[in-house]
Chains A and B, each alone.
Chain A
Amino acid sequence: MLTKIWSAANYGLKAVEIEIEVNVADKGFPGFSVVGLASKSGEEAKERVKTAILNSDFEFPVARITINLAPADLPKDGSFFDLPLAIGILASNLEVIPPPEKSYFFGELGLDGTLRHTRGVFLLAILAKENGIKNIFVPRECANEAAVIDGIKVYPVKNLHEIVNHLNKVKEIVPLHTIVVDDEEMAGPEFDFAEILGQEFAKRALEIAAAGGHNVFMVGPPGSGKTMLSRAIPGILPPLAETESLEVTKIYSITGNIPAGGSLIRQRPFRSPHHTTSQVGLIGGGSNPRPGEISMAHRGVLFLDEFPEFTRASLESLRQPLEDGFITVSRAIGSVVFPAQIMLIAASNPCACGFLGDPKKECKCNLHQIANYQKRLSGPIMDRIDIHLTVPAVDVNKLMNDKEKYTGETSATIRSRVIKAREIQKARFTGLRGIHDNADMKNKHLKVFAKLTDSANMLLKQAVNKFNLSARTYFRLIKVSRTIADLDNSENINNAHIAEALQFRVREE
């Protein structure tokens, strides 16, 4: 007997409808085979499904079972078709009546028949809506992901028993209510800027970076607060707009990073991969392409601590996505585009031991080591970073003694200024494709959008001579001063703006 069940496989950032044909033949030697380019985890579905059916006290047919996953030429990654497989087999056994209208079944089975958290439910729901599917059956733990999409009925399924009872109309499962996205609702960041004592200069630099979407490079000895500062950045970025939130949720769903019961991602991502992360782990890839850390940080912050310790290949591979805001992974079967609009925060010690220039501790590196350490950072990747910042060590005793003197601004206050500056930029760049903030500006845009007053121009020229600025540094400097002027709500860039921007230049020895 032939039964057809529908589900969806993920490819890149899209779900593709999969038709699952289950044939239970009375003739032939008893067996169980899956065809249609299932991955290893898919092949193993046979064992999971068989055991789950038996452990749920259903009959498993002693017959020749053939499963076909169509389209047959698309590789299907993951364990999502455990549930449709089980339903198909039970239906051919007449233990369950499949729904008359086309529905999607999706989820991995445990050996006891319960459904597990499965990645990609959010994309399934989007596909269901596009294809006009009314009902989808997904594991209860990740059903909230799908419930964000309106116009479809999402059935949270706990185990095989529950779904069989539902389909046989013995005991129906109540579909989830659509979750309404509230723009105001957003979890707070890990750290508030007010919690970080001192480092006002660094905070100001990060405010400018957040306002203009500039990448930042921080150099400072261990313990100066680089990591803490970075972790606080999501809190001063504007809240995720709904469309942005959907983009982020897609990526999080496909990588299985939405926690059980979680739905739409409302907070800007903050990713801090370790420096041993492979190139594929960083930018994405694999035979069935998966997004990397740079895409996981889409619309948020990618924090690379110990920046020089990353392999050369990893660092170089960041160049293209930093420029384009997306990354294309090409494979024999086709290419996949993952978004990667990130704010890069790179941090480094001044030298391998970390104490170069520290007044108290002696640096133990020799000149060769220092040169080697800093050489790793030179080159094109540094050209994509607008703000260069030295974070000096803080004197702990001093901090403890005048604790009450530090009344830093809260992240919320800073964020309100950032939002204002971003609005100015939004108005400025309407109609320009691919340019969202000041950091995206190309040299030709600077002429139009970044007008300097005469005295600012003079100051800039002086600076070029005094500090020997390269042409690239020069243009980056104007971009940063444009953002400072925006924070100041000023149409033109004046002296003060240039002077402040000058402190964030690359120090070339």
Chain B
Amino acid sequence: MNIQKNWPIKTIEKADFPEQLKRITNCPKKLNYRGIWNNKIFDKSIAIVGSRRMSQYGKWVVEKFVPELVAHKFAIISGFMYGVDTTAHKETLGCGGVTVAVLGGGLNVFTPSENEKIYWEILEHGGLIISEYDNDFLPTLWSFPQRNRIVSGLSKDGVIVIEATMKSGSLITARLATEQGKKLYAVPGPINYSLSVGVNYLIKEKGAIMATSPEDITTKKLSIYQLSIDNYDPLEKEIIKYLIIEPLTTDELAKKLGKNISLISQKLMIMSMENKITEDLAKWRTI
């Protein structure tokens, strides 16, 4: 596919901003952007932020939440950095949704550089690339947290935090979101994961809404996810029984089931081929 790269840079004044952005403290006077600006984009919009060092779990969460949100016609706003941001943009594009990226640098600076392709794809899909900085401004340590107020400020329906350590930019965004009076969602994680400490803290101490499924955000249930294992054979049922509790390696499963390793590994592979389970980093989990 030939991607068009000659999108002009335009400027929008504060007066033309969506209402929710105008209201925030420290609101920028103007914004530079590429794409076709339409305030309707932000009428139903939600920001997704999270760690740059996303884990497989974080990826899984993004891939589970974004399609559902896009199906409900949410525009996804994020910060274009690698990790959760990039995955959220990518996943939205993959689902045919509209996504808005707020950069920590100027519009002519591609940070991270490997994301250049996504940059143009976002525009191609009717999204926006926004920056409050001069077009050739190189991002700095302070400019990333500064643009976070715009990420949360633009969102109408709240901010979702997926994975964050205690000292992360995502927690800054979360604080700003509360100050701006936005709804704050956090997806919890295991308590021994460093990447979950931040989000769990938001739920426990900062009154974030615990989001364990996309329905917690969309409020209306579109699809009911239920595991139907009635037509599985006995060994498959047993495997699922263990995997529902926690992801396991082939070794651990074979030991729990008391079965030969080769037999179990064959079974697991066939189950994954039938989309009954999935594997990442040597661990099997239910879909």
Contact = CB atoms under 8 A, between A and B. Distances in A.
- Indicate whether A and B interact: yes
Contact of B283 (A363, A392, A462, A502): A392
Contact of A503 (B82, B251, B269): B269
A492 interface: no
A367 interface: yes
Contacts of B192: 359-360
Contacts of B55: 357
Interface string A189-203: 000000000111101
A200 B283 contact: no
* Interface of A: prevailing SS: helix
Contacts of B190: 359
Contacts of A503: 250, 265, 268-269
Given A367-B52, A390-B282, A201 B266 contact: no
A495 B270 contact: yes
B249 interface: yes
B248 to A, nearest CB: 10
B40 to A, nearest CB: 35
A499 B266 contact: yes
A392 B270 contact: no
Nearest to B193: A359
A361 to B, nearest CB: 8
Interface string B234-256: 00000000000000011100110
A362 interface: yes
Contact of B270 (A357, A359, A367, A499): A499
Contacts of A495: 266, 270
B281 A500 contact: no
A200 B281 contact: no
Contacts of A229: none
Contacts of A496: 263, 266
B68 to A, nearest CB: 23
B84 to A, nearest CB: 12
Interface in A372-415: 390-392, 405
A463 interface: yes
B275 to A, nearest CB: 8
A2 to B, nearest CB: 72
A392 B194 contact: no
A204 interface: yes
Nearest to A356: B281
Interface in A343-372: 357, 359-360, 362-363, 366-367
A367 B282 contact: no
A339 to B, nearest CB: 33
A215 B189 CA distance: 38
B171 to A, nearest CB: 16
Interface in A9-34: none
Contact of A201 (B52, B265, B273): B265
Given A392-B249, A499-B266, A500-B262, A459 B193 contact: no
A433 interface: no
Contacts of A363: 53
Number of contact residues on B: which range applies? 20 to 34
A347 B263 CA distance: 26
Interface string A303-327: 0000000000000000000000000
A201 B249 contact: yes
Given A390-B282, A500-B266, A502-B269, A201 B194 contact: no
B112 interface: yes
Interface string A250-286: 0000000000000000000000000000000000000
Contact of A200 (B193, B195, B251, B266): B251
Given A390-B282, A463-B273, A201 B112 contact: no
B281 A204 contact: no
Interface string A473-509: 0000000000010000000000111011011000000
B270 A201 contact: no
B282 A204 contact: no
B79 to A, nearest CB: 15
Nearest to A398: B252
A484 B267 CA distance: 15
B262 A466 contact: no
A233 to B, nearest CB: 17
Contacts of B261: 200-201, 203-204
B4 interface: no
Nearest to A203: B261
B251 A199 contact: yes
A367 B250 CA distance: 28
A283 to B, nearest CB: 32
B273 A500 contact: no
Nearest to B82: A367
Contacts of A497: 266
A367 B112 CA distance: 10
B251 A201 contact: yes
B56 interface: yes
B265 A390 contact: no
A497 B270 CA distance: 11
Looking at B53, B262, B263, which has the most chain A CB atoms within 10 Å of its CB?
A: B262
Contacts of B83: 367
Interface string A39-53: 000000000000000
A193 to B, nearest CB: 12
A172 B282 CA distance: 68
Contacts of A391: 282
B277 to A, nearest CB: 13
Nearest to A405: B255
B262 A204 contact: yes
- A-B pairs, top 3 by smallest CB distance, nearest first, are A499-B269, A390-B282, A357-B281
19 contacts: A198-B251, A198-B255, A200-B251, A201-B250, A201-B254, A201-B265, A359-B192, A363-B53, A367-B52, A367-B53, A367-B82, A392-B251, A392-B282, A463-B273, A466-B273, A484-B262, A497-B266, A499-B267, A503-B250
Given A405-B255, A459-B270, A463-B273, 17 more contacts: A200-B251, A200-B255, A200-B261, A201-B251, A201-B254, A201-B265, A359-B193, A362-B165, A362-B194, A367-B112, A392-B283, A499-B267, A499-B270, A500-B266, A500-B269, A502-B273, A503-B268
Interface of B: 52-53, 55-56, 82-83, 112, 165, 190, 192-195, 249-251, 254-255, 261-263, 265-270, 273, 281-283
